Structure 1
Amino acid sequence: MELFNFGGATAILEHRGVRMLMDPWLDDGIFHGSWVHFPPLSAHVEDVGRLDYIYISHIHEDHCSLGTLERLDRNAVVLVMGRKPNFVVDFLIRNKLGFRDICVIPPRSPMELQPGLVVDMVEPDPSDAMASAIDSALVLRWDEYVIFNANDCQPHPAMIEYVRSAYGRPDLAMLPYSGGSGYPSCYVNLSDEEKRAERDRIRSMRGEAFIETVKALDPKRVMPFADQYAIAGSRAALNEFVAHPTTPAAMRGPIERAGLTDRLLLVNSGQRFDFETGRYQPEAPYRNYTDEERQAWLDSVTANYRYDHEKFEFGSGVPLERLVRQARARLWDYQEANSIYPDWTLVLDSPEMAQVFLVPMGSAEVTSASREQTVEGHFLRIGAPRTLMIMMLLGHVSWNIADAALFLDYERVPNHYDPVVYFLVNLLRV
């Protein structure tokens, strides 16, 4: 068996002439113009070639890019975890991509696709509402090899127990080592010094979680996977504060301190690893990058990047207040149906507006207030250009993606993360 790495969560597993591509993203400028690959790619979509299978873990563009999928082998079968609604299946059908088949595999229901190749899917942590709605993890038993790809799913005890009990010790675990979020980069209630401290705290916490997962799964090899990108364009300066490390090589320190150095697998973009021989082709050490090198690279290649919402403006006749009220009414219907009433107030703020909108999460009302007015109790202020705010309210840009793209400015009081609030924000659309 061989693994060919592209970068991010995109790689090909090849065994006995059968080729499976995982989470295709090979074009830059996803997430409405914000995300580019970093470390830079040394292999591109032209290098993919023939495919038998394509696994897509979830709908986010860094795992399911239309610009990449349009250029892949249509003879491939797409593998997707079963769920309702199934955003990936809907996406593939809506875009008429015409792959040979879409194979929907229910979680924890192993399916033998061909002799010697068993594919299984595992659901995310149910306590993570956003991940539970969209994400999946992959387990392969391919002849004598067991591969576990968690992609963006933070492994949880039930997931780890299932993989170990059903499949034993993985030959390779491909594990997340960080995550994409606007915190702390976009939080204006934090000073730059506080942002750096929070960045370092989160990186340390993620590193500890990575090591705990390695110890629990006990794989023969572990590959820090996914989460390899940088923000281009006018918000690029915020890369300094992002909580995800510059490269997967950041896991070397935690791995060494845990005495697990012999298990760490780092594969350059465009490099192949042979499981049987343990050799790389081409033979080359892993190329690490510093934060300063990342910024210099961004300065050289992304100066002309423009985000979708920077390319035009909605006229003054577009009724922003009406959209806010309609979106709030729709969200309130969901809250009442599910009895969810967080003790927070959303403050929607665009610099072009004379006033802000106050959206208490415990009532159906929407009020206007001056930007200087004091907001009582817990509140989350979300700032965005007017055009972007309208695009989010219309559902053309999701709040979650705008967050990952670092498009939004936040003020959070108190500075406490409530996942329910952020989940509900994603439903604030007409």
Structure 2
Amino acid sequence: MRAKYITNACFLFEFSDGMTILSDPWLSDGIYHGLIFNYPPIGPELKSGYLELRPDYIYISHLHSDHLDAMTLKHFDKKTPIIVGKFSTPAMFLSLKSLGFENIIEIEFGVTTLLGQHEVRIYSQFSGSSDDLINDSGVDVDTSIFLQDVDGQKCFFAVDNPMQERHADMIRKEHGVVDLAILPYTGASVYPFIYKNYSPEEKRKRMLALRKAKLDKFVQLSKTIMARRIVPAAGSFVLGGKGACHAPFQPQPTPRQITEHWQSSGMDADQLCMLSTGDSVELGALKVELEPLTKGVDRDYSEEDRVAYAASIAQFSCDLDLVQWPAALRLPWKSLLNRARKNMWAYQNKSVCKPESDVYLIIKSSAQVPFPQEEEMRVKIAMDNEKLDFPLSSYSTDRPYTEFYFSANVLLALMLGATYWNVAEYHMQSYRNPDKFDPTIRSLLTFFKL
């Protein structure tokens, strides 16, 4: 088997009989409504070649646009079989159907399936968050995949799945010595850059602490899984467009920082396999073949290089700025907000998930989606009852709460289902008390829509 790295979580896996699986193809600029870009950028010659690939299968790990990218997928034959995990909700299946794909193969989690002569097993979400926090919402997003060639060569690809040491140990016990493990080394969190109470200095300090924690975990997972070679992958991007100002606070380490941390942790230098766009590794001899078109800064970039590239694409347009509503047609905001709350509450009842905390939405009027009189609307959602307080009558801080600050454009797009909460967060500012991530709240807010 051969694994070729393209970008982020996009790999081309080629088996001994020539069968190929392409994972999570994302090659378009400005996903997340004009904010997220491949970094290093892929040159036009390589990109055109990748868009002309005709794999035997495409694996989509989850719904996020850096994994399921409609603009990239439109280049592929709609008869191509798409393999996905069998989720408890039909969102993934319906999304792919809406793009015109005719053959979507839903694989039961944890069950070995044959594709041709080769074994495939898809794993469901390992834990509630990368920090192993509990998510009571019952909303699972991520998957991982294990591949075994008929010749016995084995590859495990974690993708974005929040993996802990116990899961790496499980993979090792279930599959023995894996030839290649592709493991997470960073993340795509909006922490710390959307939090309005952090100064630039505090954001930088927190970013560096997060980077170290992610690299420490990458090393620990590598020690536990005990694969012959380890590839760090999934998380290579830059914030551009209106988000370019956040680029200095991205926790993604550079290739050199990954290598230095690996070596300073006492790991075997030969076990780490650093791949750049177009590079491939053959799982038998573990020989790496370098892509000659990838060189210079695209292979060994610095943080300064990444921030400079972000600045160069800062004028990229934001889709959400195009959302408009005529001022003469007054929107029934109270009715719409209550309907969105009712839909979220219906899911909370179904999942029996009613956290004792509050969410405040502070929504700014905009030229495209103006409020009739107010400059802003303030909404309180008590997460443990059906009540929605609007116009806001009281502001209580006697229990955990999270504030989100965003425009009316974003609110309208969210309620119409034109964007997802985890995407819209990149277009927000936030404050939380206590200053602690709660994956349950974030997951429940995905149901706040009409």
> Given that residues 107 and 122 in structure 2 are in contact (C-alpha distance below 8 angstroms), is that contact kept between their aligned partners in structure 1?
yes
SS in 2 for 1:162: helix
User: Against the structure 1 CA distance between its residues 252 and 39, is the aligned structure 2 distance closer, same or farther, given a 3 Å change threshold?
Assistant: same
C-alpha separation between the residues in 1 aligned to 2:77 and 2:148? 24
Partner of 1:304: 315
C-alpha separation between the residues in 2 aligned to 1:132 and 1:335? 11
Over residues 323-374 of structure 1, what are the superposed CA-to-partner deviations in whole Å (9 max), with x where a residue is unaligned? 2221112222332343333232111112224441111222322224679967
User: Against the structure 1 CA distance between its residues 38 and 51, is the aligned structure 2 distance closer, same or farther, given a 3 Å change threshold?
Assistant: same
User: Against the structure 1 CA distance between its residues 132 and 345, is the aligned structure 2 distance closer, same or farther, given a 3 Å change threshold?
Assistant: closer
Over residues 353-404 of structure 1, what are the superposed CA-to-partner deviations in whole Å (9 max), with x where a residue is unaligned? 444111122232222467996744322110111111111122211111112x
CA shift, 1:131, in A, is 9.3
Note if 1:425 corresponds to 2:432.
Answer: no
> Given that residues 222 and 265 in structure 1 are in contact (C-alpha distance below 8 angstroms), is that contact kept between their aligned partners in structure 2?
yes
Give the RMSD, CA atoms, in angstroms: 2.4
Partner of 2:420: 398
> Given that residues 362 and 405 in structure 2 are in contact (C-alpha distance below 8 angstroms), is that contact kept between their aligned partners in structure 1?
yes
Q: What is the identity, as a one-letter code, of the residue corresponding to 2:94?
A: D
Q: What is the identity, as a one-letter code, of the residue corresponding to 1:377?
A: R
> Given that residues 128 and 439 in structure 2 are in contact (C-alpha distance below 8 angstroms), is that contact kept between their aligned partners in structure 1?
no
Q: What is the identity, as a one-letter code, of the residue corresponding to 2:315?
A: N
Note if 1:197 corresponds to 2:219.
Answer: no
Map of 1:269-284 to 2, 5 A cutoff?
A: 269-275=277-283, 276=285, 278-282=287-291
Long gaps (5+) in structure 2: 130-134, 366-374
User: Against the structure 1 CA distance between its residues 208 and 216, is the aligned structure 2 distance closer, same or farther, given a 3 Å change threshold?
Assistant: same
Partner of 1:341: 354
Note if 1:322 corresponds to 2:315.
Answer: no
Map of 1:171-320 to 2, 5 A cutoff?
A: 171-245=179-253, 247-258=254-265, 259-275=267-283, 276=285, 278-282=287-291, 287-300=299-312, 302-316=313-327, 317-320=330-333
C-alpha separation between the residues in 1 aligned to 2:14 and 2:183? 19
Partner of 1:25: 26
> Given that residues 23 and 57 in structure 1 are in contact (C-alpha distance below 8 angstroms), is that contact kept between their aligned partners in structure 2?
yes
C-alpha separation between the residues in 1 aligned to 2:199 and 2:248? 13
C-alpha separation between the residues in 2 aligned to 1:288 and 1:369? 53
> Given that residues 123 and 159 in structure 1 are in contact (C-alpha distance below 8 angstroms), is that contact kept between their aligned partners in structure 2?
no
C-alpha separation between the residues in 2 aligned to 1:370 and 1:75? 51
C-alpha separation between the residues in 1 aligned to 2:286 and 2:270? 15
Partner of 1:364: 386
Partner of 2:10: 10
User: Against the structure 1 CA distance between its residues 122 and 159, is the aligned structure 2 distance closer, same or farther, given a 3 Å change threshold?
Assistant: farther
> Given that residues 81 and 105 in structure 2 are in contact (C-alpha distance below 8 angstroms), is that contact kept between their aligned partners in structure 1?
yes
C-alpha separation between the residues in 2 aligned to 1:85 and 1:354? 35
- Overall identity of the aligned pairs, in %: 25
> Given that residues 57 and 137 in structure 1 are in contact (C-alpha distance below 8 angstroms), is that contact kept between their aligned partners in structure 2?
yes
Q: What is the identity, as a one-letter code, of the residue corresponding to 2:308?
A: A
User: Against the structure 1 CA distance between its residues 322 and 214, is the aligned structure 2 distance closer, same or farther, given a 3 Å change threshold?
Assistant: same
Tell me whether 72-81 or 355-364 shows the greater mean CA deviation. Answer: 72-81
Q: What is the identity, as a one-letter code, of the residue corresponding to 1:307?
A: C
Over residues 111-159 of structure 1, what are the superposed CA-to-partner deviations in whole Å (9 max), with x where a residue is unaligned? 12222x1111111224444896222110011122100001001223553
Number of residues paired by the alignment? 423
C-alpha separation between the residues in 2 aligned to 1:107 and 1:269? 30
> Given that residues 277 and 291 in structure 2 are in contact (C-alpha distance below 8 angstroms), is that contact kept between their aligned partners in structure 1?
no
C-alpha separation between the residues in 2 aligned to 1:325 and 1:189? 29
C-alpha separation between the residues in 1 aligned to 2:411 and 2:86? 33
* TM-score normalised by the chain length of structure 1: 0.91
> Given that residues 146 and 156 in structure 2 are in contact (C-alpha distance below 8 angstroms), is that contact kept between their aligned partners in structure 1?
yes
Q: What is the identity, as a one-letter code, of the residue corresponding to 1:97?
A: F
Q: What is the identity, as a one-letter code, of the residue corresponding to 1:118?
A: E
* TM-score normalised by the chain length of structure 2: 0.87
> Given that residues 225 and 248 in structure 1 are in contact (C-alpha distance below 8 angstroms), is that contact kept between their aligned partners in structure 2?
no
